[in-house]
Amino acid sequence: MPEKEKEKFLKKAERAACWDAKDQFWACLDKAGGENPESACREARNLYEKLCPQSWVTHFDRKYHYEKFKVKLQTEGYQKLDEKFANKEK
């Protein structure tokens, strides 16, 4: 089995560039909205993935979706979300 490639330690400027790319990608997603915002933000996503380590991309993606879920939970309430997911399972 090949060894897992170690992620390099990012310098301050590299971290700042990563966070900026993440913020630009998130802003693009928020602005695009619609049915498929990922395709509208492909260029921003590519830059984000290029400048950030893969583990950070995974973490930031989860964080973005979790933050959106929390907002929905506060605005729609858990009962409405339960109904939505219960209908998908049927």
Q: Is the pTM of the predicted complex or chain greater than 0.75?
A: no
Dist CA 33 CA 35 (whole Å): 7
Greatest distance between any 2 Cα atoms in the chain? 49
Q: Is residue 31 part of a domain?
A: yes
User: Does 3 reside within a domain?
Assistant: no
CB burial string 16-50: b at 16+ within 10 A, e below = ebbeebbebbbebbeeeeeeeeeebbeebbebbee
Question: C-alpha angle with apex 11: 58 to 62, nearest 5 degrees?
Answer: 15
- Domain tally, the chain: 1
Q: What percent of the chain has pLDDT over 70?
A: 76
Range(s) of the domain holding residue 42 = 12-89
The 10s digit of each residue's pLDDT in 10-40 is 899 999 999 999 999 999 998 887 667 778 8
> Is 1 domain-assigned?
no
Whether residue 85 is contained in a domain is answered as yes
pLDDT tens digits, one per residue of 31-65:
887 667 778 899 999 999 999 999 999 999 999 98
What confidence tier does 4 reach under pLDDT thresholds 50, 70, 90? Answer: low
Determine, yes or no, domain membership for 7: no
